[in-house]
Amino acid sequence: MNPIRLSLTTLVAMLLAWSWSSPALAEVPNFTELVEQLKPAVVNISTAKTVAQRSPLQRGPQGRGQDLFDDFFERFFQDNPRRGPHRERSLGTGFIISADGYILTNDHVVDGADEIKVKLSDGREFTGEVRGLDPKLDLALVKIEAGDNLPMAGLGDSTQLKVGEWVMAIGNPFGLEQTVTVGIVSAKGRVIGAGPYDNFIQTDASINPGNSGGPLFNMRGEVVGINTAIVAGGQGIGFAIPVNMAKEIIPQLREAGHVTRGWLGVTIQPLNDELAASFGLDKARGALVTDVVKDSPADRAGFKRGDIVIGYDGQDIDEMNDLPRLVAVTPVGKSVKVKVFREDNEREIEVEIGQLDDKQAASPHLGADKAEEVLGLHVTELSRELAERYDLEKGQGVVITRVVPDGAAAAANLRPGDLLLEINGVQTDSVAGFQSQAAKAVSGQVLRLLVQRRQTLFYTTLTIK
């Protein structure tokens, strides 16, 4: 036989055998059928509000904000140079979860809006009314009056998602209606410094400004996440709130317009191997109690500084963020058994869970509540990942992850990625220390800050509003 013909025959046989045996090729879903099925339940949301004044300092080289995790719609419309009172219009996405017109979206899509327009896939437009807000989880419930036979999206089970699984995003990026992108689940349980309930799904499905509040579908056509954030300057890195977290609060949003959460009353931090060993713990796990709020449920139950919470209501606490998430969904007044490691021994403490109010941090390891209110920023510990992202050396200080638009930090030209080293000459060695100093600030006070931006140190002042 001709050698060339033999080689070609062998190559074709190998390719056919590979294609028949490759599970990846056999499992590529039919996206077209899914898109036709799912698009009608996805809506475009346009909002408007009157803004008194925009700070010219919260802007990047191209006139856009530098938040570590970009708010999609907000960034797209922030290039208007007007400084005085004006109408600010923004775009986002949502999806219908009931036939009578309830729509789930992000809190930041509708926050402060006095005009909400919802456009369906068939072109009809309705006025939306906010029925419930949960800023802590960044979710909102909007209602439209459009009859009782609207197409709706089914809610899946995000705990069943697997890394590598196909997912689909449908949204309104840059105002381009009903845009469809696909990708995979890149990671689960991501903590990105957005708040105490961080537990994000990471995906490489293309997500852009305008996708906020839109659904992330699995290949069974079920919503498994709500698209919320992207990494500034990142390619193929987006984050979605697991739909199970939304399912826990939707009934409260619908019935009461807000969410009631459980409260323990401790400040916590993560452990590394060295810290765990110093306490006599076998490995880095659990949540280390750095402070106990006076007269809180934890205080009354006998929690102490230095306790390591390793179990809660029958569930293991492997990561620090597991604790505030579990406490949050515990009914107020319920007595739960908490397993702690103290003085080389494990013991159980029974505690009656209290109610978290707006003035209490769920678990203030991020200092989000008080810091946002007083200084207009969010901070977190300087992890290795953040140090690499912002070209900083691991050491003292806390890193700014978000600057609140028009807040005191924005007016001081602080940016996400800045390392806050001192406040009025006192070192900020930890988030707990930063939170303590922020709590002492009063309206009108001028704080002197020592800041490191990449490799440059500088002083600046911040006036408390």
DSSP 38-57: HGGGEEEEEEEEEES---TT
- The count of structural domains within the chain is 4
Q: What is the DSSP letter of 331?
A: P
Q: CA torsion angle for 48, 50, 54, 58 (degrees, to 10)? A: -30
Tell which residue, 439, 449, 349, 369, has the closest CA to residue 409: 449
Residue that terminates a domain, selected from 113, 143, 173: 143
Residues 427 and 335 in one domain: no
Distances (CA, A) of 173 to 76, 111, 119, 177, 194: 9, 19, 14, 7, 22
pLDDT for res 67: 43
pLDDT exceeds cutoff 80 at 365: no
For 431-446, what is each residue's pLDDT tens digit? 777 877 776 676 678 8
For 42-77, what is each residue's pLDDT tens digit? 999 999 988 765 443 333 333 333 344 444 444 444
What CA–CA distance (Å, rounded) separates 97 from 143?
10
134 or 78, higher pLDDT: 134
264 Cα distance to chain centroid? 22
Residues 117 and 182 in one domain: no
Residues 160 and 111 in one domain: no
Query: What is the pTM (predicted TM-score) of this model?
Result: 0.67
**What is the number of residues in the chain?**
465
Which amino acid makes up residue 22? S
Residues 249 and 270 in one domain: no
Which residues are tagged catalytic?
108, 138, 212
Range of the domain at 231: 156-256
Residues 160 and 227 in one domain: yes
pLDDT for res 446: 82
The CATH number of whichever domain residue 285 belongs to comes to 2.30.42.10
Pairing of strands 266-269, 354-356: unpaired
Residues 161 and 133 in one domain: no
For 262-313, what is each residue's pLDDT tens digit? 999 998 888 888 888 888 999 999 999 988 988 999 999 999 989 999 999 9
Provide the mean pLDDT of the chain.
Answer: 82
Residues 338 and 378 in one domain: no
Could you tell me if residue 18 is inside a domain?
Answer: no
Residue that terminates a domain, selected from 322, 356, 390: 356
Residue that terminates a domain, selected from 256, 271, 300: 256
Could you tell me if residue 110 is inside a domain?
Answer: yes
Looking at the DSSP assignment, which residues form a beta bridge with residue 90?
A: 47
Mean pLDDT, range 221-239, rounded to an integer: 81
pLDDT exceeds cutoff 80 at 393: no
Residues 408 and 451 in one domain: yes
Residues 50 and 83 in one domain: yes
Residue 76: how many CB atoms within 10 A of its CB? 20
Could you tell me if residue 150 is inside a domain?
Answer: no
Could you tell me if residue 111 is inside a domain?
Answer: yes
385 class by beta-carbon count within 10 Å (0-12 exposed, 13-18 middle, 19+ buried): exposed
CB 203 within 8 A of CB 186: yes
Could you tell me if residue 363 is inside a domain?
Answer: no
What helix, strand, coil percent values describe the chain, rounded to 5?
A: 25, 35, 40
Three-class secondary structure of residue 304 per DSSP = coil
pLDDT for res 431: 76
Could you tell me if residue 323 is inside a domain?
Answer: yes
Residues 331 and 383 in one domain: no
Could you tell me if residue 26 is inside a domain?
Answer: no
Q: Which residue has the tokens 């750095």?
A: 290
Residues 288 and 301 in one domain: yes
pLDDT exceeds cutoff 90 at 334: yes
The CATH number of whichever domain residue 79 belongs to comes to 2.40.10.10
Could you tell me if residue 321 is inside a domain?
Answer: yes
Residues 346 and 333 in one domain: yes
The region of weakest confidence among 193-202, 344-353, 356-365 is 356-365
Residue 245 pLDDT grade (very low, low, confident, very high; cuts 50, 70, 90): very high
pLDDT for res 24: 47
